[in-house]
Homo-oligomer: A and B are copies of this chain.
Amino acid sequence: MAEQNNANQTAQTEEKKSTLPGNVVLVGKKPPMSYVLAVVTQFNNGAQEVKVRARGAAISRAVDVVEIVKHKFIQGLKVLNIAIDSEDRVNEDNTTSKVSTIEITISK
């Protein structure tokens, strides 16, 4: 039991990473180049497809990331699919509001 609890705790602290399947880059508030590097690294490690995801204001940055990869790093990059959606976000006062999301699937 103790071991299992430990495992759960580890899983929780790494939640953000562990809930992402391979080949996903979640774009947040860092400068675009951080995510550009992450995408290029995934392709260099053999990924055929990479999904670039973002929520809210980071959506613009996700598009920047894909455009930078396309124009500066991987010639002939293909945008396979772009999906937009909404998620419920829980605010600090426990109310919920909608936040837009984007998922851009790209391949070499």
| Residues in A lying within 8 Å of B, measured CB to CB | 56-60, 63-64, 66-67, 71, 79, 82-86, 98, 100, 102, 104
For A55, give the chain B residue with the smallest CB separation.
Answer: B60
Question: A56-B60, A59-B60, A100-B64 in contact; A79/B84 too (CB < 8 A)?
Answer: yes
Which 4 residue pairs are nearest across A and B when measured between Cβ atoms?
A82-B82, A59-B60, A63-B100, A67-B86
Closest Cβ of chain B to A10, distance in Å, is: 34
B-chain residues with CB within 8 Å of residue A82 when the two chains form the complex: 82-84
Closest to A82 in B: B82
Contacting residues, chain B, for A66 (C-beta < 8 A): 84
Please tell me if the beta carbons of A104 and B86 are within 8 angstroms of each other in the complex: no
